[in-house]
Amino acid sequence: MTPALTGSDWGGVFAQFLMLSLLSIGGAIGTAPEMHRYLVEQHHWLTNEQFSASIAIGQAAPGPNLLFIAVLGWGIGGFFGMCVTMAGILLPSTTLTLFAARWGEARRTTRGVQAFVMGMAPLTVGLVMSTGFILGKPSYGNPWLLATIVGTVVVCVRTKVSPLWLIAAGGLVGAFLG
Amino acid sequence: MPTPEPTPASADDSAKMPVPDEAPSEMAGATAEDADASRSGPRSILDDESPRSPKSAGEIFRVFTRLALQGFGGVLPIAQRELVERERWLTREQFLELLAVAQVLPGPNVVNLSLMFGDRALGWRGGLAALGGMILAPWCVVMVLTMTYVHYAQHPTVAGALRGMGAVAGGLIFSTGVKLLPALRRNVLGAPIAFALVAAMFVCIALLRVPLFWMLAGLGAAGCALAWRRLKP
């Protein structure tokens, strides 16, 4: 199941994730559409289904949701792939955080930082919604799964039910009707 | 007060971005002082107000491992409970300050927050301990889950279950975006422009598949420039 990636492929993957790390304003999940474009549509290293399953595993497990990136890495190249994608996504943002935190904190209320935060906020929201839409792709052909997506959105927006229960329910629906 | 919701933490928080009317000037003064103080000694901000301080990198690692492993569907609410209420390593205000900075920087909020907390408490060793605690144990869990999935991926029931879970994951993330929409009314860009930017982003990224970089460089820069003009003092 592991596609054979060449050395230059891996270089490209690493570079891609390094760049995405710096673009991940508002969280790692916002970079999922770009990862999907790169890994699924451009290079066909993962299928739509594998991509959505990776995010589902990342969401079902405890811990920061950026771990879906480890699962994506595993999908394209096992343990090595996992280390490449995780190192790529973590190194730039953590380094930047270490050095820029005090600088940014002191200027948090300045016009420049405020303009950046305010100007980027709508894009973050659009990105998050795009991510959800793209993750639904493997399900759009199946009425039960489509209903699951719509149901999830309704329940999640209207109530405070823990996502874990919804994921478990989705697993049940999928196991019998997916 | 934030009521962190059990949605993917990183995306959820961008709703609570600092708005001018919520960021009084004395707060800015305090943060600047803290930043100055922390240059002379990394522990200062924690010693000042919070009842307790972490004693060792090992202790930081243990606490962050514990809180990360409890965080199903978002670590942020757990982080707040553990760090503020249980360990009392941070006051609620300090936690919010850290979060505000963590949001401005690229990278997952909880990861940035851990790193900054550990760094302030015990320098880079503390930062590494917090980051490691936040990531390593959940990473192992994810690895086991992935290997299990790969092993049974061909099994129709397992494949179906994962499809169902994937559908829910998609719905959950989409909902997070929907829940963030009302927060944009407070955006200095004004609701019509902010919502137009959301729509443009959705069409270009989800439907047209324009590379993210160009969207951030184009639309993002335009949004920031407009916000900059509207924020004119």
Buried b (16+ CB within 10 A) or exposed e, B163-194: bbbbbbbbbbbbbbbebbbebbebbbbeeebb
- Residues of chain A with C-beta less than 8 angstroms from the C-beta of B7: 156, 163
- Are residues B107 and A175, on separate chains, in Cβ contact within 8 Å? no
**Do the domain assignments include residue A130?**
no
Whether pLDDT at A102 is above 70: no
pLDDT of B50? 55
- Are residues B141 and A21, on separate chains, in Cβ contact within 8 Å? no
State the residue range of the domain holding A81: 7-109
Lowest-confidence range among A101-110, A154-163, B144-153? A101-110
- Residues of chain B with C-beta less than 8 angstroms from the C-beta of A157: 175, 178-179
Task: Determine whether B64 is exposed, middle or buried from the number of CB atoms within 10 Å of its CB (0-12, 13-18, 19+).
Answer: buried
pLDDT of A16? 95
Question: For B14-61, how does the pLDDT look when each residue is reduced to its tens digit (9 = 90+)?
Answer: 433 443 333 333 333 334 334 434 444 444 444 445 568 898 999 999
- Asked if residue B109 lies in contact with residue B96, where contact means CB atoms within 8 angstroms, the answer is no
Classify residue B187 as left (phi > 0), alpha (psi -120 to 50) or beta: beta
**Do the domain assignments include residue A149?**
no
- Are residues B18 and A100, on separate chains, in Cβ contact within 8 Å? no
Predicted ipTM of the assembly: 0.83
User: In this complex, which of A24, A105, A132 lies closest to B171 when CB atoms are compared?
Assistant: A132
Half-sphere exposure of A177 (CA within 13 A, CB side): 17
pLDDT of B149? 84
Whether the CB of B217 is below 8 Å from some CB of chain A: the reply is no
Question: For A154-178, how does the pLDDT look when each residue is reduced to its tens digit (9 = 90+)?
Answer: 998 898 787 778 888 999 999 998 7
**At A138, is the pLDDT very low, low, confident or very high (cuts 50, 70, 90)?**
confident
pLDDT of A41? 94
Question: For A31-82, how does the pLDDT look when each residue is reduced to its tens digit (9 = 90+)?
Answer: 899 999 999 999 999 999 899 989 888 877 888 889 999 999 999 999 999 9
DSSP for A100-148, please give it.
HHHHHHHTTTSHHHHHHHHHHHHHHHHHHHHHHHHHTGGGTT-HHHHHH
Whether the CB of A83 is below 8 Å from some CB of chain B: the reply is no
Supply the DSSP symbol for B84.
Answer: I
**At B208, is the pLDDT very low, low, confident or very high (cuts 50, 70, 90)?**
very high
d(CA B97, CA A149): 35
**Do the domain assignments include residue A19?**
yes
Token pair of B113, please?
């927050």
Helical packing angle, A111-135 and B191-202, nearest 10°: 40
**Do the domain assignments include residue A145?**
no
**At A145, is the pLDDT very low, low, confident or very high (cuts 50, 70, 90)?**
very high
**At B5, is the pLDDT very low, low, confident or very high (cuts 50, 70, 90)?**
very low
Token pair of B73, please?
């569907």
Whether the CB of B180 is below 8 Å from some CB of chain A: the reply is yes
Task: Please indicate whether residue B26 or residue B208 has the higher confidence score (pLDDT).
Answer: B208
**Do the domain assignments include residue A33?**
yes
pTM of the model: 0.74
Domain count for chain A, please give it: 1
